Amino acid sequence: MEKEFKNKDFISFLEYLKYQKNYSDYTITSYEHDILEYFQFLQKESLDYKKIEYSDIRFFLMYLKDEKKDDNSSINRKLSSLRSFYKYLANEKIVDTNVFSLVHGPKKSKKLPRYFEYNELEELFGVPDRKTPTGQRDLLILELLYATGVRVGEMVKIKEKDIDFGRKSILILGKGNKERLVHYGEYCEEILKEYLKDGYGSLNPENSPYLFLNHNGKPLTERGIRYILDHLIEKTSIHKKISPHMIRHSFATHLLNEGCDLLTVQKLLGHESIKATQVYTHVTTDRLKEVYYQSFPRARKKDSK
């Protein structure tokens, strides 16, 4: 795929995602892989990406389904990447129209967001060794992810100057360079102060402005955060895969279970649309049942006297 890597329109699109859309490295890599796979298909079929037609896309979908054995979720993700790519090409007048805007992917099976129960998080929080700089850092990673619900791509960009210690808030630079404030509580505050007073100095000999650093004093990457989380959960009795987004799911689910309204959770998560937040509502059935029996006057019969 050496030729495709040098394609100027492809490279310009990736630069657009990085510098104008402010997408994370992890997200950009996902786009890159999806579009490179598409270019491989075009090369195999001797097709020009600038002259692609709807009928060609149908064969591409058959290729993904029958040869690649992709599931519906993967196919839809790849179509989304290509939709964005061709929208960029159309806006830049490289192609006449975004032919992928007419393509509908297969129906996705609805999956419940995976999340941790609170007692599982308590076990996880007990793993890092607070006597070491990396242990303090790792505990802060866990506490901050859970306390704020930030995306991992947002967390690795946090600098010490972004923190308002008096208000217990952090200025986050989210998708599309949009800023929002997130708040943290007393548990997170305790380890944040401990880390900045103690372990942060050991990890930061070059006075980096970033909050989360590796053992070489360089800013942690998204992949580095994922590696740390994988390492931590191996030391627990929890038989679940872990990801930063799963802790974000836990943050949202636990808020709703405790009675927080959906609009507030939307703002805290930084979702542009309420539809993105509504996915969490169906995991709070137990909480709804509890509130119903406590609040509705005819839910239970009163004891006879």
The side-by-side arrangement of strands in the sheet containing 169-173 is 163-164, 169-173, 179-183
User: Is 151 tagged catalytic?
Assistant: yes
Which secondary structure element, helix H or strand E, spans residue 193, and what is its range? Answer: helix 186-197
Token digits of residue 13? 């699109």
User: Is 31 tagged catalytic?
Assistant: no
Which listed residue (78, 137, 157, 248) is catalytic?
Answer: 248
Rounded CA Rg of the chain? 23
User: Is 183 tagged catalytic?
Assistant: no
Report yes or no: 215 and 134 within 8 Å, Cβ to Cβ: yes
Which listed residue (87, 114, 245, 287) is catalytic?
Answer: 245
244-257 and 118-125 helices, crossing angle to 10° = 130
User: Is 58 tagged catalytic?
Assistant: no
SS3 assignment, position 202: helix
DSSP helix, strand, coil percent of the chain (3-state; round to 5): 60, 5, 35
User: Is 197 tagged catalytic?
Assistant: no
User: Is 114 tagged catalytic?
Assistant: no
Which listed residue (77, 83, 130, 271) is catalytic?
Answer: 271
- Secondary structure E strands in the chain: 163-164, 169-173, 179-183
Which listed residue (130, 175, 218, 226) is catalytic?
Answer: 175
Which listed residue (78, 115, 137, 151) is catalytic?
Answer: 151
Which listed residue (86, 146, 195, 280) is catalytic?
Answer: 280
What amino acid positions are annotated as catalytic residues?
151, 175, 245, 248, 271, 280
